[in-house]
Amino acid sequence: MSYSVEDFEDQKKFRLFLTISYTDLIGFVFDYLKRKTWLTYIYWFFCTIFLCFSIFIRFRLRGGFAESAFLLHSLTGMIILPLAFIPVHEFLHVVPYFLSGAKNIRVGMDLRQYLFYVTAHKYVSSPVQFIIVALTPIILISAALILSVFIIPGLWKWSLSLFLFVHATMCAGDIALLNLYIVNKDKKIYTWDDVDKKEAYFYEKVE
């Protein structure tokens, strides 16, 4: 069942249990990444695997290329590609929002917190919708990068494997938001944002 923002005024059906200000997103991310759940264990496990994978690729390619070429591809994988793919990452958040019926989708950034975000103004997301929106970029981009490392020859294997690791770390905010659902697994959580007020609201459905 879909809900509107007005439905959450009924305190007999919904209870507001968390409000996140956009100005404190970094604080929220660090807080929920530190909370140990199966999700955070899996996330850090894959970050470690991706790092080890990139190191393995580096050793496989050693001796065949000039150090200057390795340096250039290191910068490509750690800086250039992560910056270039920010619009792609955010677009992959937009798509499931749009397909679920959200109309007023907004993309924003807070350079003081080094954060980019996508949200739908006053659009209520169910748990399933929110999980799909959060996971789409990390799953699709990671899968595409792993495939590319095996297909594309030469030093691009190194830069793409580095990018695979860096992109995973860039998804920390998405994982922190999902961990909110895991930590509160006893609650059926609905969420919506007021972008004008720069606040996100999380409600528990009262059974």
Question: Three-state DSSP class for 69?
Answer: helix
Residue 61's pLDDT band (cuts 50, 70, 90) = confident
Average pLDDT of 62-76?
Answer: 84
Sheet holding 14-21, edge to edge: 14-21, 199-205, 189-194
Averaged pLDDT for residues 23-48: 94
In this structure, of 12-26, 56-70, 118-132, the range with the lowest mean pLDDT score is 56-70
Taking 70 as the threshold, does the pLDDT of residue 1 lie above it? no
> 106 and 90 in contact (C-beta within 8 Å)?
no
Q: How many angstroms separate the CA atoms of 13 and 188, rounded?
A: 11
Helix or strand (DSSP H, E) at 47: helix 38-61
Is 80 exceeded by the pLDDT of residue 99? yes
Q: pLDDT tens across 140-167, in order?
A: 999 999 999 999 988 999 999 999 999 9
Residue 39's pLDDT band, with cuts at 50, 70 and 90, is very high
pLDDT band at 60 (very low <50, low <70, confident <90, very high): confident
Tell which residue, 114, 113, 135, has the closest CA to residue 181.
Answer: 135
Q: Residue 111: pLDDT above 80?
A: no
Kindly report the number of other CB atoms within 10 A of residue 193's CB atom: 23
Token pair for residue 74?
Answer: 């290191």
3-state secondary structure at position 20: strand
Both structure tokens of 109: 């950034």
| DSSP string across 97-153 | HHHTT--SEEEEEETTTTEEEEEEBT--B-HHHHHHHHHHHHHHHHHHHHHHHHHS-
Q: What is the pLDDT of residues 167-184, one digit of tens each?
A: 999 999 999 999 999 999
Q: Is the pLDDT of residue 3 over 70?
A: yes
Q: Beta strands of the chain (E only): which ranges?
A: 14-21, 105-110, 115-120, 189-194, 199-205
pLDDT in the model for residue 173 = 92
Q: Is 35 in a helix, a strand, or coil? A: coil
How far apart are the C-alpha atoms of 82 and 116, rounded to whole Å?
12
What CA–CA distance (Å, rounded) separates 79 from 74?
Answer: 8
Q: What is the mean pLDDT of residues 120-129?
A: 93
pLDDT number for residue 93: 94
pLDDT at 42 over 70: yes
pLDDT (0 to 100) of residue 206: 87
pTM for the model: 0.90
Chain centroid, CA 198 distance in Å: 19
